[in-house]
Amino acid sequence: MPMTINPADAFSQSYAEARAKFRATAQAAGADLTALKHPMLGPNGEELACDVARFGATDAPAVLWINSATHGVEGYCGSGVQIGLMALGWHRQLPAGVALLLTHAINPHGFAWTRRVNEDNVDLNRNFGPQGVALPVNPGYADIHQWVIPEAFEGAQRDAADGALEHYRAQHGDRAFSQAISGGQFAYPKGLFYGGLTPTWSNRTLRALIDRQLAQAKRFCFIDIHTGLGPLGYGEPSYVGDPTEAAFAECRRWLGDDVSWLERGTGQSTPLHGHIGLPFRPLYAQAKTGPVLGLEFGTLPSSEVRAALRADHWLHTYGSLDSDQGRAIKRRIRDVFYVDTDDWKHQVMVRTDELVGKALKGLAG
Ligand SMILES: [Zn+2]
C-alpha cells in the first residue's frame, strides 16, 4: 500500500499521548472501541488500560490481530505501528471475511513507567507457561545474578561485577551468555527476564481477549510487535505458533522465507519458556489455524540494550526514580527500545505494511 502519511506522525512521546492518539484514530476510523482498565495508575496519575479496536464483522471467520507493548516500553514502536496502519487505511481494505483487531498496550503499566517488565517486575513473554508444573531452572542466571544487578551502580563494586560478567561470557561463549541472561528465570523476582510464578494482569487480559475475540474465528494471525533485538531497523518475524512443520511451512508461504522459528532457535532470540504463543495453542485443538508471531525490530547493539536493562532494574531495586540519575536511566531505556528518528519509523512502517498485506492475503485464503 502506498505510504500516504508521514509515519513519524503515528508515533508518540509518552504512553498517555500514545493512548489518546490511538483512541482518537480508532474512533475516527469507525472501530468498535473498548478499554480494559488496569488496576494501577501511571507515573503522572494517568489511567492505564489495554485499548481494543476491532474492525469488521463480529462473526468474521478470519482475524488479523496486531498487539503492542507486551514489553511495556517497546509499545512506543507497537503503538506507532497500530496507529500508522489505521492512518494507511488498512481497516478500509480488509478482504471479505477478515476482521482487524488492534490491542493497544497489553502491558500498559510497563509502557507508562518506561519499563520492559510489568508492575510485578515480570517479563510477560516468559509468563505464559503452564501452571502446576515445575518451573525451569536457569543455572546460568543463578551464576551471574549478583553481577547483573550489583548493589552499587558506580565504583569498584560495579567494575568488579562488569569484569565478572565479561569473564563469564569469555568462558561460556556468546550464545550461552545470552541464554543465561535473557533466556528467562523464575528464581530472582527482582532480576532480569523474571517470568513470575502466577499469571499477571496482562496474561489474564490476553487470555480473556483470545476467548472473546477469536471465539467465532476459524483462522487467525497474531503479530506481537517487539523491539531491541537484531540489526537496526530490520523487522524479523519470529514464529511461535502451532509447533508442527506443516504449520510453520504455511506461515512461511504467507509471510516469506525470512520468518524464523523461536522454539528451534533459528532467529535472534534464544528459545523461551512461557512465551506469548502458548495461550494460543488450545485453539489448534479446536480446529482453528493460523500463525502466531513476534515481529522484532532492531534498535541498538545488544550490549547497549542489556546495559540499559541492568540500569533500569538497578534503579527499581536500589535507586530513586525522582533523581537526575533516575531520569537519565529512564531516558536511556526508552532510547534503546525506541529509535526516535524518521528513518527508523519509516523502516518499521514499510515492513509492517508489507507483512500486514501478506497476512491478510493468507487469511483471505
Ligand atoms: Zn520484546
Whole-angstrom distance, CA of residue 121 vs CA of residue 313 = 9
Residue 189 gets which letter from DSSP? Answer: T
The alpha carbon of 341 is separated from its chain's Cα centroid by a whole number of angstroms, namely 20
Q: Name which of 21, 147, 168 is nearest 84 in CA terms.
A: 21
Whole-angstrom distance, CA of residue 302 vs CA of residue 40 = 31
Mean pLDDT of 281-293: 97
Report the DSSP pairing between strands 47-55 and 292-298.
Answer: unpaired
Quote the ligand 1 centre to 220 CA distance (angstroms).
Answer: 21
pLDDT digits (tens, 9 = 90+) for 305-328: 999 999 999 999 999 999 999 999
Single-letter amino acid, residue 348: V
* Residue 232 burial (10 A CB sphere; 0-12, 13-18, 19+): middle
Q: Which residue has the cell 547493539?
A: 301
Quote the ligand 1 centre to 151 CA distance (angstroms).
Answer: 26
Quote the ligand 1 centre to 92 CA distance (angstroms).
Answer: 29
* Phi, psi angle pair for 225, to nearest 5°: -85, 125
pLDDT digits (tens, 9 = 90+) for 24-43: 999 999 999 999 999 999 99
Whole-angstrom distance, CA of residue 86 vs CA of residue 10 = 9
Quote the ligand 1 centre to 70 CA distance (angstroms).
Answer: 7
Residue 36 near residue 49, CB atoms below 8 Å: yes
pLDDT at residue 111, as a whole number: 98
pLDDT digits (tens, 9 = 90+) for 210-228: 999 999 999 999 999 999 9
Considering the chain, what percentage of its residues have pLDDT values greater than 70?
Answer: 98
pLDDT at residue 267, as a whole number: 80
pLDDT digits (tens, 9 = 90+) for 157-173: 999 999 999 999 999 99
pLDDT digits (tens, 9 = 90+) for 91-108: 999 999 999 999 999 999
Residue 129 near residue 199, CB atoms below 8 Å: no
pLDDT at residue 131, as a whole number: 86
pLDDT at residue 5, as a whole number: 60
pLDDT at residue 7, as a whole number: 66
Single-letter amino acid, residue 365: G
Quote the ligand 1 centre to 96 CA distance (angstroms).
Answer: 32
Whole-angstrom distance, CA of residue 205 vs CA of residue 239 = 22
Q: Is residue 265 very low, low, confident or very high in pLDDT (cuts 50, 70, 90)? A: confident
Q: Is residue 183 very low, low, confident or very high in pLDDT (cuts 50, 70, 90)? A: confident
Quote the ligand 1 centre to 57 CA distance (angstroms).
Answer: 30
Q: Which grid coordinates belong to 300? A: 541498538
Mean pLDDT of 203-209: 98
Mean pLDDT of the chain: 95
Q: pTM score, two decimals?
A: 0.96
Quote the ligand 1 centre to 296 CA distance (angstroms).
Answer: 7
Strand partners, 219: 62, 289
Q: Is residue 2 very low, low, confident or very high in pLDDT (cuts 50, 70, 90)? A: very low
Q: Where are the alpha helices (DSSP H) in 75-121?
A: 75-87, 108-112
Domains of the chain: 7-129+199-299+338-364 (3.40.630.10), 139-193+303-323 (no CATH)
Report the DSSP pairing between strands 235-239 and 98-104.
Answer: unpaired
Strands in the chain per DSSP E: 32-41, 47-55, 62-67, 98-104, 219-232, 235-239, 260-261, 292-298
Q: Is residue 348 very low, low, confident or very high in pLDDT (cuts 50, 70, 90)? A: very high
pLDDT at residue 272, as a whole number: 79
Quote the ligand 1 centre to 74 CA distance (angstroms).
Answer: 6
Quote the ligand 1 centre to 156 CA distance (angstroms).
Answer: 32
Q: Which residue has the higher pLDDT, 133 or 52?
A: 52
Quote the ligand 1 centre to 89 CA distance (angstroms).
Answer: 26
Quote the ligand 1 centre to 239 CA distance (angstroms).
Answer: 14
Asked if the model's pLDDT at residue 269 lies above 90, the reply is: no
pLDDT at residue 273, as a whole number: 86
Quote the ligand 1 centre to 80 CA distance (angstroms).
Answer: 15
